[in-house]
Homo-oligomer: A and B are copies of this chain.
């Protein structure tokens, strides 16, 4: 089989997005990564703040945001508008060709509105299909796709979708063309055994250790969906996954969590 070139997919978490200095540094570091690369960003707190200012209640059920029509508008404005386009402009200023996308653009991520027997999540979408040839085509033209956490269904409805899931689904879809490295940037050194103590970062996490730690309730509940996503991606041909601080992106001396099966 022909050797595939390496693709780097970077997910940027909400707290990094809300800190302009941290974001600028991250975009510089990202910009210096060689080879094809993709950004996926969330942006939860901006939407929550905007909703508060507009007097719209953000409803959470089991820690999941309910996306009614008013909240969808806010999420589309902040994620696809404010955050996405500022990232695009900043990356462009660093000399890159960049396109900011929702899943509706280029029909890049098709989703279905979530159906749940008890909870109406509103306009929340679960990823159904990633248009890998479209993204591959952009990458071949030395373009950096920057995805926000908005998808669409076949009927013209925009849908709010989990950014971690989008990152892993894009990573998986692109394994058809690339060796894919997925990096989840957030505000901590990595997966911590004690969430209060950065010294306890788990530098190597495999499926067995993850199962053991989960059984001991030693994984912070907020990390579980993220880590489930990681192992799902690794089982689906993604080569390498790391979780850590933005500065770990291109500094191998910075500790982080490396995840393997």
**Interfacial residues, chain A to chain B (CB-CB below 8 A):** 53-54, 73, 76-82, 84-86, 88-90, 92-94, 97-102, 104-107, 134, 137, 141, 143, 150, 152, 154-158
Contacts and interface: CB of A to CB of B under 8 A. Distances in A.
Contacts of A92: 104, 107, 152, 156
Contacts of A134: 97
Given A54-B53, A107-B97, A85 B89 contact: no
B99 A101 contact: yes
B93 A105 contact: no
Contact of A97 (B81, B102, B106): B106
- The 3 A-B residue pairs with the shortest CB-CB distance, nearest first, are A81-B81, A93-B156, A77-B77
A36 to B, nearest CB: 16
Contact of A100 (B53, B93, B105, B141): B105
A84 B93 CA distance: 23
A78 B85 CA distance: 12
A157 B157 CA distance: 30
B106 A99 contact: yes
A104 B88 contact: yes
Contact of A89 (B53, B54, B94, B104): B104
Contacts of A101: 99
Nearest to A154: B93
A247 to B, nearest CB: 20
A85 B102 contact: yes
A94 to B, nearest CB: 8
27 contacts: A53-B54, A73-B82, A76-B82, A76-B86, A77-B78, A79-B81, A80-B80, A80-B81, A80-B84, A80-B85, A81-B82, A85-B102, A85-B104, A85-B150, A85-B158, A86-B158, A88-B105, A89-B104, A89-B152, A90-B156, A92-B104, A93-B155, A98-B104, A99-B106, A100-B104, A100-B105, A106-B143
A232 to B, nearest CB: 27
Contact of A54 (B54, B86, B104): B54
Contacts of A76: 81-82, 85-86
Contacts of A158: 85-86, 89
